Amino acid sequence: MARTGALRRRDYFRDARARVVVHREVRQVPISQHRHEFYEIVLIVSGVGVHATGGFRHRLEAGDVLVIDPRRAHGYEETRGLNLVNVLVRDDLVPQLERDLGRLPGFHALFTLAAARWREGAYTSRLHLSREDLERAMEWVDRMEEEVQRGAEGGHLLAEAYLALLAGLLARRQGRGWRAPQGAPPSALARLFTWIEMHLAEDLPVPRLAAQAGMSLRTFHRKFSAAAGKSPTAYVLERRLDRAAEWLRQEPELAVSEVALRCGFGDPNYFSRVFRERRGCSPSEQALKHRAGGKEG
């Protein structure tokens, strides 16, 4: 894997159909902090080292799990026999995982709020798998890699299915003992992210979100923005667009107005306009692409 700079999606996802790729590192050498254009689930298989992100450092050992989103720079220091597996996940697959698994509180604690814990410098709820869970996770990773390498019809969909099994296991284990960032009620934000996923079709003004989290408006804005990296309004809009993109991919025959309603857009014209602005094409064009290319393409 490249030692410095940004890791480009095109260098790792060379098959246009692949949305998940397995990359193994045997005896990982120290690597300076870098970003990548995809999500990365890191499973520490053996050895020790130090994980660095921003100004924060923490020790690594077998069974540790890291979930790195594209916003976060990270690297490794003081590595000794550090063997790890990187599961690279294209960013357009994460909304589908969020739709399917987002009701597990541990999902958002792991995939959404981890960066907030690093920024606070108090990574107190680091995910660590038991030996049994690590073996199970590695079995699914092996199957995932086999399907991607085989390249047979349907193989990439099967690889995504194994990824869902892995993400579900990690979310459940993370959900057992996650603690919210300092100053927020225990698990309040994790529960809120889950609640938002279940209510995207409804009106979600910021005061309603703050009340659901049990916080004052001022505290809510501060805590939510620190956790999500964007304002509550921007987050909800982005999640609605992600959900809409999934509907257009999975059921491209749906009317645009129906997709808009299912995702919380009361005005289909506004939905079409903002979708084009943020995604570079209209909902109709997006649906047409999937009707022409099939669901896996």
Determine which of 9-23, 164-178, 201-215 has the lowest per-residue pLDDT on average: 164-178
Specify whether 262 is located in the same domain as 150: no
Q: Mean pLDDT, to the nearest integer, of 16-35? A: 92
Grade residue 296 by pLDDT with cuts at 50, 70 and 90.
Answer: very low
Specify whether 19 is located in the same domain as 145: yes
Could you tell me the residue range of the domain that residue 216 belongs to? 199-293
Specify whether 12 is located in the same domain as 111: yes
Q: Mean pLDDT, to the nearest integer, of 57-61? A: 91
Q: Is residue 247 part of a domain?
A: yes
Specify whether 42 is located in the same domain as 171: yes
Specify whether 21 is located in the same domain as 166: yes
* 0.75 exceeded by pTM: no
Instruction: Mark which of 175, 207, 241 sits at the end of a domain.
Output: 175
Q: Mean pLDDT, to the nearest integer, of 129-148? A: 93
Average pLDDT along the chain: 84
Specify whether 32 is located in the same domain as 167: yes
Q: Mean pLDDT, to the nearest integer, of 120-125? A: 48
Specify whether 43 is located in the same domain as 147: yes
Q: Is residue 101 part of a domain?
A: yes
In this predicted structure, what is the pLDDT of residue 185?
41
Specify whether 164 is located in the same domain as 223: no
Q: Answer for the pair 54, 75: CB distance below 8 angstroms, yes or no.
A: no
Q: Mean pLDDT, to the nearest integer, of 223-243? A: 88
**Domain count within the chain:** 2
Q: Higher model confidence: residue 71 or residue 37?
A: 37
Q: Is residue 187 part of a domain?
A: no
Specify whether 99 is located in the same domain as 232: no
Specify whether 140 is located in the same domain as 234: no
Specify whether 151 is located in the same domain as 251: no
CATH of the domain at 228: 1.10.10.60
Tell me how far apart the alpha carbons of residues 128 and 133 are, in angstroms, rounded to a whole number.
9
Of the segments 34-38, 77-81, 125-129, 241-245, which one has the largest average pLDDT value?
A: 77-81
Tell me how far apart the alpha carbons of residues 119 and 212 are, in angstroms, rounded to a whole number.
24
